[in-house]
Structure 1
């Protein structure tokens, strides 16, 4: 019943240790949730829900209350309970009436998460939350205030969900400004060895803000126009292909000066995500974040999340100011991931296959990859395999063209003979 949002608030290994703490905290309310019916003394489901909210608030109020793993498990216990499904209409009416009322911020936060958890069953609740409450502003406050530490991790996760699922209004999007992004980068750097959960949540929010830039109908996030700061892809496809199967390609030179000149067929792009802009500007505070990108990509299984990560990584390695952000070990892992995925992706995963193929030339030609040439022979063999007649017959024409383009761009640098 619960949405993916509430599921991602808690990792499986942590949920095992949260069950006992949550059950003890809610007592008789927990028993009602499991049974799906109200008790003999309580006939109104709203009273049960009020009691649940009160007990949840008490955990925020007292020292020794819920830990970060306990909090999402408590929401899951309610949202996935027989009680919630049995009394859905009454609960929806209750949340609709309460979400607009002025309450203390902890209680407001509890209502917000309940609305988002229930929105898959009643989508209008989601619209109600976003339209009637300054949710982005409130979440930003929870994230940045030092004395709201119990709310920091849930707020990071909820704001990530909002950025991934909808196009924010211009006023809300403006709140995700350079200073907030710099704060998140600093928070990731600071928490890399002390708070793994918030560290990863802040990293995921930065990826989601990048996606939010992409979701917007017209990007207003651009570089300031100063020399050397305009992001440039390493190649472009010309308007007239030589044939229906093979586009006319202009490989970029390996040399930095030639690589960044339009005479090599490079098309300047005047717009860049505000995340990439700040990565270029805050390089001293982004070491942990760029390492996290590779870590998350290596273990992520959700295709949509993988595409978001690949889009940001590709933006980083196609923007001159951020070409060298990835350390050598990170690049080695990234190459390993690309090889593994291109060999093992299912036949119907065209979007992922295209994303990996578009990323690969940027790694080879723009980063410091050619200084250590990690698994270059494997890459050459992989590209030969992907562009063989047998392989091309099994994929769509778009994937086939991209595979040929990637192979031709990389073949000189890999220096293992013609790949196509």
Structure 2
């Protein structure tokens, strides 16, 4: 999109006034719409270093356009023109403004039309190229927005074959290297955007692979798991951050994305011991705590509980925890007992939960305590929870104290893999918690 206008503004007030005039333009012909968009990009890129130095001002600038008459009268056309700009332009200021528009507009509209248009126009390979571009990497704010745009646009629809072909091993290792190189500060701007891109790519590989297997074709190589398998000792920080994110995250869809990565890691003999033992202990604590938090009367909670249990089984059977000294054996057995016992906040127990609990109990090192619990569940004698005799505490706190939680608030069959792959939730839905109902 070539620029045909220039500005000579003396202060910030003039900048915002001029911007308001541009986004309020009312026109019908495409030629005049294009001219207005050129003006918008010219003024924002020319004065970006002066008046758009913060993420807040970038967002403010984008929302002026989103809320203006120019966009609202011609939404589809404006989106497509800005999308073409992202496909064609190479200078960082322009890339920053157009990618910020697509990101905020995509998040702002309720029908995902922006991200669907990006998918139709084949934007994914372009994002892969830009994220690896050395010139783009020098602008950390632009780089972060592109990562967020890749994540948001990739989690609502399946990638196409050419999209997968744009991702090679070096791209995955590059993302893992970013995580390894950033600070240990959980608020580092690179932590979540990079991790989320890896999570959604793993999701895409998992869904594509299970779909191909269901159709009788060979599965697609999951480059995320392949990278951990071949270079896991070099990129340990990714695993640490997965645990941190799982412990903090309240969005159901993101928890499911994390759990799917963990399921594949622990189900693969080459990656089953990827985590440091101390980190593995923390992960087990997080899983136990989150299972305790889930209420019984929510379909979303049931789906999430089933996924946690599917992840717990390979952890119990394939990771270091399966070797002496066994970590929290009694606590794990008590939790599994609670999940299959009537008369507590998990009841009534659904058949899938019982089946998955029995699978977890089959871990040899959980015997003989697990056998006793399993027998009680089968013959129906398990009618009273071990924590029923504690009075005056909320159920979640009772279970935590009894189970000894140390975390503060904050290779299966193809059928099993398919069960994990198909668990999904819309972005933004918060994970239900029994704690919300406890006085």
Counterparts of 1:104 and 1:186 in 2: how far apart (Å)? 25
1:296 Cα deviation from its structure 2 partner: 1.0
Q: Cα distance 1:84–1:404, how it changes in 2: closer, same or farther (>3 A)?
A: farther
> Which one of the candidate residues 119, 122, 126 is aligned to 2:115?
126
SS at match of 1:165: coil
Does the alignment pair 1:333 with 2:282? yes
Counterparts of 1:321 and 1:198 in 2: how far apart (Å)? 27
In the alignment, is the contact (CA less than 8 A) between 1:152 and 1:198 conserved in 2? no
Partner of 2:426: none
The normalised TM-score by structure 1 is 0.69
In the alignment, is the contact (CA less than 8 A) between 1:219 and 1:271 conserved in 2? no
Counterparts of 1:270 and 1:170 in 2: how far apart (Å)? 13
Counterparts of 2:330 and 2:287 in 1: how far apart (Å)? 14
> Which one of the candidate residues 143, 148, 151 is aligned to 1:160?
151
> Which one of the candidate residues 175, 180, 201 is aligned to 2:166?
175
Partner of 1:215: 207
1:316 Cα deviation from its structure 2 partner: 0.5
Counterparts of 1:157 and 1:185 in 2: how far apart (Å)? 16
Structure 2 unaligned residues grouped into runs of 5+: 1-9, 28-32, 375-439
Partner of 2:195: 203
Counterparts of 1:152 and 1:183 in 2: how far apart (Å)? 13
After TM superposition, the structure 1 stretch with the greater mean CA deviation from structure 2, 405-414 or 43-52, is 43-52
Counterparts of 2:368 and 2:342 in 1: how far apart (Å)? 21
1:407 Cα deviation from its structure 2 partner: 2.8
Partner of 1:373: 326
> Which one of the candidate residues 36, 41, 59 is aligned to 1:75?
59
1:236-255 alignment, distance < 5 Å: none
1:79 Cα deviation from its structure 2 partner: 3.2
The normalised TM-score by structure 2 is 0.67
SS at match of 1:196: coil
Counterparts of 2:281 and 2:41 in 1: how far apart (Å)? 48
Q: Cα distance 1:408–1:147, how it changes in 2: closer, same or farther (>3 A)?
A: same
In the alignment, is the contact (CA less than 8 A) between 1:380 and 1:411 conserved in 2? no
Does the alignment pair 1:93 with 2:77? yes
1:147 Cα deviation from its structure 2 partner: 2.3
Counterparts of 1:115 and 1:411 in 2: how far apart (Å)? 52
1:414 Cα deviation from its structure 2 partner: 7.8
In the alignment, is the contact (CA less than 8 A) between 1:293 and 1:309 conserved in 2? yes
What number of residue pairs does the alignment pair up? Answer: 341
Q: Cα distance 1:321–1:59, how it changes in 2: closer, same or farther (>3 A)?
A: farther
SS at match of 1:390: coil
Partner of 2:360: 406
Structure 1 unaligned residues grouped into runs of 5+: 1-23, 222-268
Counterparts of 2:131 and 2:69 in 1: how far apart (Å)? 32
Does the alignment pair 1:139 with 2:130? no
Q: Cα distance 1:26–1:153, how it changes in 2: closer, same or farther (>3 A)?
A: farther
After TM superposition, the structure 1 stretch with the greater mean CA deviation from structure 2, 310-319 or 196-205, is 196-205
Does the alignment pair 1:385 with 2:329? no
In the alignment, is the contact (CA less than 8 A) between 1:339 and 1:379 conserved in 2? yes
In the alignment, is the contact (CA less than 8 A) between 1:29 and 1:52 conserved in 2? no
1:415 Cα deviation from its structure 2 partner: 4.8
Counterparts of 1:272 and 1:217 in 2: how far apart (Å)? 8
1:320 Cα deviation from its structure 2 partner: 0.5
1:302 Cα deviation from its structure 2 partner: 0.8
1:137 Cα deviation from its structure 2 partner: 2.6
Q: Cα distance 1:104–1:181, how it changes in 2: closer, same or farther (>3 A)?
A: closer
SS at match of 1:380: helix
1:305-320 alignment, distance < 5 Å: 305-320=254-269
Counterparts of 1:353 and 1:412 in 2: how far apart (Å)? 20
Partner of 1:189: 180
1:313 Cα deviation from its structure 2 partner: 0.6
In the alignment, is the contact (CA less than 8 A) between 1:211 and 1:308 conserved in 2? yes
Partner of 1:9: none
1:374 Cα deviation from its structure 2 partner: 3.1
1:56 Cα deviation from its structure 2 partner: 3.6
Partner of 2:104: 117
After TM superposition, the structure 1 stretch with the greater mean CA deviation from structure 2, 43-52 or 321-330, is 43-52
Partner of 2:307: 355
Counterparts of 2:16 and 2:367 in 1: how far apart (Å)? 62
Counterparts of 1:123 and 1:270 in 2: how far apart (Å)? 29
